[in-house]
Amino acid sequence: MSDQPGNIFYIDKSKPVLWRRSATNSSINPYIAHYYLLGVSDTFFNKDANILKRTGFSSGFSKIVADSDTSCFILDKSRFFYYSISLSDPVLMPYDKGDINTLFKIDDHCFIFNDKKEIFLLNQQARTLAAVSLTGNSHSILKDATENSILYWQTGMGNPVFIDGDKAWLLTYDGSSITAKLISTGIPSDSYIKSVQYSEKNNLLFIGTESKGLIVINQNRVESKKRNNANSKNRNSYYSQIELEDGNILTNESDIIGGHSTSESSLPIKGKFSFNISHTGESSLWYTQTNKDIGYNCLYEYNKATGKTKAYPKIKWGDIVTESGGKIYIANPGGIGILQGDSLLFLCEYPKNLVGTVTFDFTEISPGILAVATCGLIAV
């Protein structure tokens, strides 16, 4: 995997390990044109990794499907390419079955899904296409799908997932036809889906969204909840939530979601609060909120045991708080520091080009070792 500056990591025992450092410290990496090949193999990527090329494809905008460790298919703006390690550049493939919507694989078979909602099996040796039939009501599921439907597949998935409305189907192939198996209902609307994964073993559907965070659906457990009192001035996307004692959920927009009546006086936080919240010890809840007395955002600590809230007006922003060795550490847009009394003592201040960076996670990964993940770096 790669971060935004272009550093490349491999995963070792569920942890990222630096494999190749970015060729530049700026936001413009001159070798970024090769990064789409990382999803094919390190062999293919390393072939021309140190050669400057104009940017042609990107895994974020082009669909890359590995044919082998040394070859792949590329779908870019309805244009279909074949590329192998023996070729100097990708070769445009002839295709006369309508515009291609997407490419996907089921096991080792590669398929094309076109704008007419037809599926073709790609013969990877002869480079020919064969129409694939759909069993039972699978045909109508695809043909009658709305314009907002999504057929999602990415490298590493054994089967694609088709989503239309609030339903999701898993596509399987038996060697002659494709079957759409219903795996989930109750998918929230207006989710702006960015990624999908399905665990057949655990019957869990994972949906990564732009506006609602990560949604995990177990068909036997999911229960839809809505805010009790809609407020047109509040966002309908939530970034942090707190479970209340009565089972309701308090969101960072100050909305209360759930089937119980919650008294405002019992809320741990009153009013809107930050996208990130943190828990330390048995009773401390940390968050950032606008302090009306001083006129800017500052750090707050709510003590669940006493029900009291403490403000830290000298700490203007505290993205994420964590605890190590009985001490409180804070990561914010300026760097990483330790809480001393009512103030923040910086232990590491970010260089000027990283000031203002957004912190996504900050945690103790082993005794005395803290790791921070931001939009620009991962540091330990």
pLDDT of 4 > 70? The answer is no
Q: How much is the average pLDDT of 102-110?
A: 90
User: Which region among 6-15, 214-223, 277-286, 292-301 has the lowest average model confidence (pLDDT)?
Assistant: 214-223
CA distance between the termini of the chain: 18
For strand 133-134 and strand 177-184, is the pairing parallel, antiparallel, or unpaired? parallel
Q: How confident is the model at residue 61 (pLDDT cuts 50, 70, 90)?
A: confident
Q: Which residues contact 341 (CB under 8 A, 6 or more apart)?
A: none
pLDDT of 102 > 80? The answer is yes
Average pLDDT, the chain: 83
User: Is 328 exposed, middle or buried (CB count within 10 Å of its CB: 0-12, 13-18, 19+)?
Assistant: buried
Q: How much is the average pLDDT of 173-201?
A: 88
Question: What are the structure tokens assigned to 236, written together?
Answer: 């309908």
Compare 260 and 347 and report the one with higher pLDDT. Answer: 347
DSSP string covering 148-160, please?
A: T-EEE--TT-SS-
Question: What are the structure tokens assigned to 245, written together?
Answer: 């004692």
| Amino acid, res. 162 | F
pLDDT of 336 > 70? The answer is yes
Q: How much is the average pLDDT of 349-378?
A: 81
Give the number of other Cβ atoms within 10 Å of residue 93's Cβ: 15
Report the distance separating Cα 145 and Cα 160, nearest Å. 16
In whole angstroms, how far apart are CA 369 and each of 31, 128, 247, 324? Answer: 33, 54, 35, 8
Q: How many residues does the chain have?
A: 380
pLDDT of 6 > 80? The answer is no
pLDDT tens-digit readout, 12-43: 777 888 877 776 655 556 566 677 787 788 88
Q: What is the pTM of this model?
A: 0.53
* In the chain, % of residues over pLDDT 70: 85
SS3 298: strand
| Helix residue ranges, H only, the chain | 42-47, 138-143
Buried b (16+ CB within 10 A) or exposed e, 100-138: bbbbbbbeeebbbbbeebbbbbbeeeeeebeebebeeeb
pLDDT of 251 > 70? The answer is yes
pLDDT of 222 > 60? The answer is no
